Structures are given as structure tokens and as C-alpha cells.
Amino acid sequence: MDDGSEDDLLSQVAIAPDFLRCIRQNRRGPAAARNAAIRASQGDCIAFLDLDDRWARGHLNRLASALRDHPEAGIAQGLIRKFLTGPGGELSYCSEAYRFVNLGACLFRRQVFDRCGLFDEDLHFAEDFDLIVRCWEQGIRKIEVPAVSLLYHRHGGNMTNGKNTVELGAVQVYKRRLDRIRAGSVDHSMVESRRVAFPDYIGRTAGPFDEGLREPVEL
């Protein structure tokens, strides 16, 4: 999905397998781009990957196997490691592995979006966090796979650089949750089916941009 990017993505797709489709739209933000891709997709499982990030080898196979082994689950999630690109083009991990909200580390069943809705296109940030909050409210089971799934590229162009919690949209997400509770659209009887407390469902915070670790990336 190309959300009005200035990168030469179409030329890269030209040498890709025939089954790969590229959909381009005028820039409307990450939520709208992901929603367009979901609507255009036909598979039973949906995965996301930003252009500057990478999947660890075996990521999709491991998470698809987890969903096959747990038919009651709607999401499988692996771990994340941040990495930097050095001046010579070398790639180095700059964090230990952790688990937090990042779509690229997950594999979703399509029914999750049918039940919980698509991404909120009014959110410029934290649309992924908002979705996961709604998944927790709806009792969507999430299977944690203890292996690195996503290599998260940290660089000067990251949209989240230098932004605080308010700027990243967390307050808006919690306000939306409060509005749903007040409107009576959150079924509190789902608590037992969640099987996990909210902080455990979300995972730990991502930590600083660079945690100081330098370890070569193995692709």
C-alpha cells in the first residue's frame, strides 16, 4: 500500500512476484492506508510491515503456526528489536527484544477487524494502539510467540521521533475508550474471557530511541 509516498516503490514492485499488488492513494495517513489494504485483501490472515522495517526470518511461519495451534485466538504476536543503520550501511541492533504495540510484530485473523472495526482514520498517531485497546475490550485472544518477529528501524525520519505521550495520541485513545464505556458499548462481562490484564496485553513501553546496545543484525 503506497500512501502517496515519495519513495520509488512502484519500480520495486515491478520486479516482485505476480501475486503482489501495489495500491496507491493520495496521502491520507497510516490508518487510511491500512484500511484500504485490508479492504482489498482476500486472505484469512492479515499482516503489516512498514517500508523501512523488516521481518525476522521465519516470522510469518511462526505466527501462522501459532494461530493454527490456537484456533480460539485472533492475534499472534512476536517480539520486536530496534536497529540502526551505521555510516557504512551496517545494521546494528540498538535494543534488546521486547513486546509492545507494533503491528509489524503481529499476524491478525481477518475476523478481528470484522469484530473490532478497522483503524480510526481520525487518529494521526496511535491508530495501532487504539485497535489493540478495542481488541482487548472485545476479548480477542492474543498468543505471544517468544521469538523476534519485527526489526524496527530507528532513524531520523521516524514519525514518532521527539514526540511526547500526548502528541503520540495516547490521550485520544483513552478518551475514545472512556466514551465507549459511557455509551455502554463495552461489555464488562468480557473480562473473564480476556484472560489477561490490560498492561500485560499491551506489553512494556518501547524504551528510548537508542538503548545503547550495538550488536550486528543477522538477516
Phi/psi at 207 (nearest 5 deg)?
80, -175
pTM: 0.84
pLDDT in single tens digits along all 219 residues of the chain: 565 566 655 555 555 566 677 777 777 789 999 999 999 998 999 999 998 899 999 999 999 999 999 999 999 999 999 999 998 989 999 999 999 999 999 999 999 999 999 999 999 889 999 999 999 999 999 999 999 999 999 877 665 655 555 556 789 999 999 999 999 988 877 766 667 888 899 887 667 778 888 899 987
Q: What is the C-alpha separation between 113 and 130, in angstroms, rounded?
A: 13
For the chain, the helix, strand and coil percentages under 3-state DSSP, each to the nearest 5: 35, 20, 45
Q: What is the C-alpha separation between 93 and 216, in angstroms, rounded?
A: 6
Q: b/e per residue, 40-55, with b = 16+ CB within 10 A?
A: eeeeeebbbeeeebbb
Q: Which of 11, 91, 21, 19 is nearest to 56 (CA)?
A: 91
Every domain of the chain and the residues it spans? 1-42, 43-216
